[in-house]
Chains A and B, each alone.
Chain A
Amino acid sequence: AQSVTQLDSHVSVSEGTPVLLRCNYSSSYSPSLFWYVQHPNKGLQLLLKYTSAATLVKGINGFEAEFKKSETSFHLTKPSAHMSDAAEYFCVVTLQTGANNLFFGTGTRLTVIP
């Protein structure tokens, strides 16, 4: 079965420290992978996407993710957390090459402590 697993339901970091949100995927095909962020009472926003080009993907707001096929991982990182980064983060995969719908993980809630 094709799926995405977010290993932590909640991550808490201090402001100014690194962020690591973990994601593993399972796919029978070459996947397209995404990270979306959802702030309270706001729509989902795309942070970054991997579509078989460079394995290290840079996104908005200083976030980046690295596609590691051997580890079937697509972890999201940021060198220094900001208070405004507090939100729900979703790792997302397409179920198969050419699929038009997105398959979301269960989400990781990021808390940033001042």
Chain B
Amino acid sequence: DTGVSQDPRHKITKRGQNVTFRCDPISEHNRLYWYRQTLGQGPEFLTYFQNEAQLEKSRLLSDRFSAERPKGSFSTLEIQRTEQGDSAMYLCASSLGSGTSSSYEQYFGPGTRLTVT
């Protein structure tokens, strides 16, 4: 399968614990995005990388959240001191892009469903 993959698919954690999610984009894609989707809502943008550089962060990305893409390939999203409000589906997407073009299709992974108890 050459699509975007995410691991784990499901994560249940207790409030206050740290969690880390991984995203493997399509191999030739230089852009990688993280989104969060809560029940009954559309996905909301969190952050975006071009290669290894994190170029944009949403105000939704509090200081408990950190994302990395150390070698411009896979990415990790860590949430520290989880809260019940962090319960959501975390989606990763990747695309090809250059300059400021936003017309390149974003390919989404299946998501990681986080439940904080």
Contacts and interface: CB of A to CB of B under 8 A. Distances in A.
Contact of A43 (B4, B31, B42): B4
B90 interface: no
A32 B3 contact: no
A102 B103 contact: no
Given A49-B103, A51-B103, A103 B45 contact: yes
B32 to A, nearest CB: 11
A90 B102 contact: no
A106 B41 contact: yes
Main secondary structure of the interface of B (DSSP, over half): loop
Interface residues of A, number: 24
Nearest to B93: A44
A32 B91 CA distance: 21
Contacts of B101: 98
B102 A94 contact: yes
Interface in B1-57: 3-4, 31, 33, 35, 40-45, 48, 50, 55-56
B115 interface: no
Name which of B31, B41, B103 has the most chain A CB atoms within 10 A of its CB: B103
Interface of A: 32, 36, 41-46, 49, 51, 90, 92, 94, 97-107
Given A43-B91, A100-B48, 12 more contacts: A41-B110, A44-B43, A44-B108, A51-B103, A94-B102, A99-B102, A100-B33, A100-B102, A101-B56, A102-B43, A105-B42, A107-B42
